[in-house]
Amino acid sequence: MKPFLTAMLLMIVLQTSCAAQAQQSCTNFQALVKATYTFKPSKLSDSERDSKAAAMDKVWDAAKANPRELAPCVRTMLESTDSDPWFRFDGSNLLVSLDPSPESKAIQVRHYTNADLADVHLQVWIETLAQRGSEGFDVSEAANRWLTYPKASYFLPRHGVFEVQTFHGALFLFGSMDESQATPALLKIVNQASHPGREIALLILMDQATPESLRSLKQIDAQGFSYKTRQSLRTLLSNPQLFTPRAKPKTSRAEFVEAFNEILSGNGEKFIRLITQVPDGEVDVVAVLRPEDLPLVRKVRRRFIANATPHAIEFYDSFTRILMTMIWKPEFVNGGIAHRN
């Protein structure tokens, strides 16, 4: 037999052998998953929960020991309509840990959205989805589920036992998303008179700080909302609280742009130095930044709120006022006089 044909046959044999091995590994892993994920977390006792956690660790360890062959296997199982509901949630986390690709994260968002919220750790659920939102994924359907969930709250012990309530969780999710995704989703909820999260959706819509959101707010029938919310809406449309640009800025545009880009790269040290040196730096931001910087400011705001902490809310509010100052035009709401202070 000629050397070329011999080499080709050997390659085919090796490929067939590898495929058979991968298939056997997947078959064994599927059996392990089916034997493990046979429960509903919210129905377990404390001792049962500990036992199942140890069993799930074995599934994760097996996958991490052979990610090349088992990542595709996990993905196939997650796409199956007859897979265990809890595995879809936990398995989507496993998939992202093995393969943090956009495709894997899209699967995770879908299974998080459909998960039974009684079974999940709500903090993990919110924080993971908020991170995905800041990465460009549309998490509005999950945010809508949060707004309709009767037990939508959890505590953050590391932040003075701060209670994340329905409004905060919704802000973390809708606020982390690109405004082009969040605004229409919020408006849809606001226009549903019977939606339990309608008022919260309106409050978050009022903070979008885009020409599109301001125009949509002008068309909303405020009847049916609380007096406080109606007053806030009226103020926003006629006399919003904006920053007055500092006549002689203490921080340059280049410094802000560099700090903001570093935040998006995961480094907030320069930004912390800037706000420590100049605590009222917002009035410099609105003085030196240009219209072309708006997308950068929005990305930074989304990155902050995706942290899902009380401090994230403070930064979100500050950046919202910055954005409103930069984009406000009376014609967006068919009239109105801006008041700066």
pLDDT per position as a tens digit, 288-299: 999 999 999 999
Q: What are phi and psi of 336, to 5 degrees?
A: 115, 150
Model confidence at 24, pLDDT cuts 50, 70, 90, reads confident
Residue 121 CB partners (closer than 8 Å, separation 6+)? 154
Report pLDDT for 7: 58
Model confidence at 340, pLDDT cuts 50, 70, 90, reads very low
Mean pLDDT of 310-332: 95
Give the start-to-end residue ranges of the domains of the chain: 27-34+46-115, 242-340
- The rounded distance, in Å, linking the Cα atoms of 255 and 225 is 42
Beta bridge partners of 241: 339
Report pLDDT for 21: 67
DSSP per-residue letters across 32-83: HHHHH----GGG--HHHHHHHHHHHHHHHHHHHHSHHHHHHHHHHHHH-TTS
Report pLDDT for 160: 84
Mean pLDDT of 34-58: 95
Beta bridge partners of 154: 164
End-to-end CA distance of the chain: 89
DSSP H stretches of helix in the chain: 3-36, 46-65, 67-79, 85-98, 102-114, 122-134, 140-148, 166-176, 179-190, 198-205, 211-218, 227-238, 253-264, 269-277, 282-288, 294-305, 310-327
- The rounded distance, in Å, linking the Cα atoms of 264 and 257 is 11
pLDDT at 150 over 90: yes
- The rounded distance, in Å, linking the Cα atoms of 180 and 257 is 23
Cβ pair 289, 258 in contact under 8 A: no
What tens digit of pLDDT does each residue of 235-267 get?
999 999 999 999 999 999 999 999 999 999 999
- The rounded distance, in Å, linking the Cα atoms of 97 and 173 is 22
Mean pLDDT of 275-285: 97
